[in-house]
């Protein structure tokens, strides 16, 4: 099989056709922390560093505007705040502690589903795509 372009690869993959490799687009669930990007740009000497080109990723493509999460979402609530950290419940119902600098992974403290009953309740209350309204 010939080396496919990003467009050919992504289109074939979405259509269930053979591909030369699995497409991987930067920005689809992964992006380096801001400080990491700054460091890479500084160390490479390339202020316009293009990660897709450098690492051989497929060109970024835009996903259609679809709801990909729990719906309706939980209300985001701040539970605790210090000079260094914020503890909050996010839109997925996950409680996490995150550094205010944003330069490390959050610590996940609690989840909305811990038991079968939790799952049944979440499923009934928050997996409700029929509540989405078409956008005009």
Q: Are 25 and 16 in contact (CB under 8 A)?
A: no
The conformation of residue 83, written as its DSSP 8-state character, comes to S
Q: Which pLDDT belongs to residue 10? A: 85
Tens digits of per-residue pLDDT, 20-70? 988 886 555 567 888 888 999 999 999 999 887 787 788 766 666 677 788
Q: Are 126 and 118 in contact (CB under 8 A)?
A: no
- Among residues 13, 41, 37, 34, the alpha carbon closest in space to that of 25 is found at 13
Q: Where are the alpha helices (DSSP H) in the chain?
A: 6-14, 34-44, 51-55, 116-126
- Among residues 106, 112, 114, 113, the alpha carbon closest in space to that of 87 is found at 106
Report the alpha-carbon distance of residue 74 to residue 115 in Å, rounded: 18
Tens digits of per-residue pLDDT, 57-80? 887 666 666 777 888 899 999 999
Whether the model pTM is above 0.75? no
């Amino acid at each position: 099989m010939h080396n496919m372009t990003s467009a050919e690869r992504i289109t074939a993959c979405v259509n269930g056709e053979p591909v030369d490799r699995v497409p991987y687009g930067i920005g689809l669930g992964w992006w380096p922390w801001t400080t990491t990007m700054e460091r890479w740009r500084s160390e490479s000497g390339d202020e316009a560093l293009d990660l897709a080109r450098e690492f051989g990723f497929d060109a970024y493509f835009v996903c259609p505007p679809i709801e990909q999460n729990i719906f309706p979402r939980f209300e985001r609530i701040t539970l605790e705040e210090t000079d260094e950290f914020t503890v909050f419940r996010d839109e997925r119902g996950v409680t996490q502690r995150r550094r205010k600098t944003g330069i490390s992974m959050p610590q996940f403290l609690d989840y909305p589903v811990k038991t079968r009953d939790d799952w049944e309740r979440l499923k009934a209350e928050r997996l409700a795509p029929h509540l989405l309204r078409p956008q005009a």
